[in-house]
Structure 1
Amino acid sequence: MHARSTTIWARTASIDDGVAHVRDEVMPTALEMDGCVGLSMLVNREDGRCIVTTAWETAEAMQASAEAAGALRERARELLGGDMTIDEWEIAVLHRDHRVAEGACARATWLRVEPGQIDRMISVFTDTVLPSLESFEGFCSASLMIDRTSGRCVGSVAYDSVEAMRRSRERADEVRAGAIRESGAERLDVAEFELAIAHLRVPELA
């Protein structure tokens, strides 16, 4: 399974219009593309960062969608404003305790390891991180996406509510620190988001 993430640093006043556009226009069009198995949108209303991720059955399907996806992406950027970056990933791990509902939030952690240590990072996430996360209050799901060429990784953990996510911060910091030590990773960024759209049909990958 593969994914393409588009990050837009939006004007905060445009976020609601942007979410509506992605939900009502971008998502239905994307889901009609061959191999697309879902779309999610993370929103940080404080700094304007919005991340739209589409999931694909294969890398070939993702690449075949590039031109059509580009047109959708430009329209969303026009509505939201701000700079835009695009990342492509392999979905290495996806585990769901239960599906998210309205009010769900997510914390994302970006890391980098030496490319030759990517499989080690996957093992640490599967064997150490996931068992710890499953005991967290309000835990919904967790995923790990990787770029084998650069060694960049992003782990995302969804929670039932912003309150549950906030109460998890101290324990999450401890789990993250342990995973970084065990994998030899470099921490790049950590951020918390509203899970504005979660429409994924990605199977369990753990």
Structure 2
Amino acid sequence: MFARSTTFHGRPGNIDAGINFVKNEAWPALERIEGCRGLSMLVDRQSGQCIATSSWDSEESMHAGDAALRPIRDRGRDILGATMEMDEWEIAVMHRSHHGACCRVTWMEGDADAMLEMFRVGVLPALEESDGFCSVSVLVNRADSVGCATTVWESHTAMEASRAMADQLRAGVAAETGGGVAEVHEYDLAYAHLHVPEMA
């Protein structure tokens, strides 16, 4: 399974228009493209930053759908009043128990296989025991030695309560793998329509 994320750096006042566009135009268009397995949208209402991520059953289908998606991305950029950048990923972990309201995204640099092993052995069991935890996904780009982990929480209160644990887990992964934390950001989960199977 693969994913393409598009990060929009937009205007906070345009967030709701962007969400409506994703729900009413972007997803219906994506749903018709062979190989597409879902779409999610994360938003930061204070900064205006949004991340729309489409999931695909293969790298080939992801690239085959690019021409059809280009005008959709451009329209999203115009609606949000944004600049945008894209990244492509392999979906390495997908584990969920129920839907949530908000999420924390962590970008890390280092050996992807080492980070994944640490995640499965040390991080995932700790997350599953955390109050308010809903789901987690891990995306990797092996060529660039980067990974992106998204944990979803049932409320902002639960996500805030997990911050100290998350700091400790990130530090442990970085220390054990020789990697580093590039960025951590928290978002509202504005839209999620996913058909990606369990991958832990």
**Equivalent-residue separation in structure 2 for 1:74 and 1:2 (angstroms):** 21
SS of corresponding position for 2:22: helix
Aligned to 1:14: 14
TM-score (norm 2): 0.98
Which amino acid is the alignment partner of residue 133 of structure 2?
F
CA shift for structure 1 position 106? 0.3
Aligned to 2:104: 107
1:114-148 per-residue CA deviation (whole Å, 9 max, x = no partner) reads xxx22111111111110111111110001110001
Equivalent of residue 148 in structure 1, options 122, 125, 142: 142
**Equivalent-residue separation in structure 1 for 2:92 and 2:193 (angstroms):** 19
Contact 2:170 2:181 in 1 (8 A): no
User: What are structure 2's unaligned runs of at least 5 residues?
Assistant: none
Aligned to 1:131: 125
**Equivalent-residue separation in structure 1 for 2:128 and 2:97 (angstroms):** 8
**Equivalent-residue separation in structure 2 for 1:177 and 1:132 (angstroms):** 14
The number of equivalent residue pairs is 200
**Equivalent-residue separation in structure 2 for 1:197 and 1:184 (angstroms):** 34
User: What are structure 1's unaligned runs of at least 5 residues?
Assistant: none
Mapping 1:46-61, distance limit 5 Å: 46-61=46-61
**Equivalent-residue separation in structure 1 for 2:69 and 2:131 (angstroms):** 36
1:88-108 per-residue CA deviation (whole Å, 9 max, x = no partner) reads 00001111122x15xx10000
CA shift for structure 1 position 52? 0.2
Equivalent of residue 171 in structure 1, options 153, 159, 165: 165
Equivalent of residue 178 in structure 2, options 162, 179, 184: 184
1:5-53 per-residue CA deviation (whole Å, 9 max, x = no partner) reads 0000110010000100011100111011100000000001111110000
SS of corresponding position for 2:126: helix
TM-score (norm 1): 0.95
Which amino acid is the alignment partner of residue 106 of structure 1?
C
**Equivalent-residue separation in structure 1 for 2:83 and 2:76 (angstroms):** 12
Which amino acid is the alignment partner of residue 27 of structure 2?
M
SS of corresponding position for 2:112: helix
1:119-178 per-residue CA deviation (whole Å, 9 max, x = no partner) reads 111111111110111111110001110001000110000000111101111111111111
**Equivalent-residue separation in structure 1 for 2:35 and 2:120 (angstroms):** 26
**Equivalent-residue separation in structure 1 for 2:14 and 2:92 (angstroms):** 33
**Equivalent-residue separation in structure 2 for 1:181 and 1:127 (angstroms):** 15
**Equivalent-residue separation in structure 2 for 1:38 and 1:82 (angstroms):** 23
Identity of aligned residues (%): 44
Mapping 1:81-96, distance limit 5 Å: 81-96=81-96
Runs of 4+ deviating beyond 6 Å: none
Contact 1:97 1:134 in 2 (8 A): no
**Equivalent-residue separation in structure 2 for 1:148 and 1:31 (angstroms):** 28
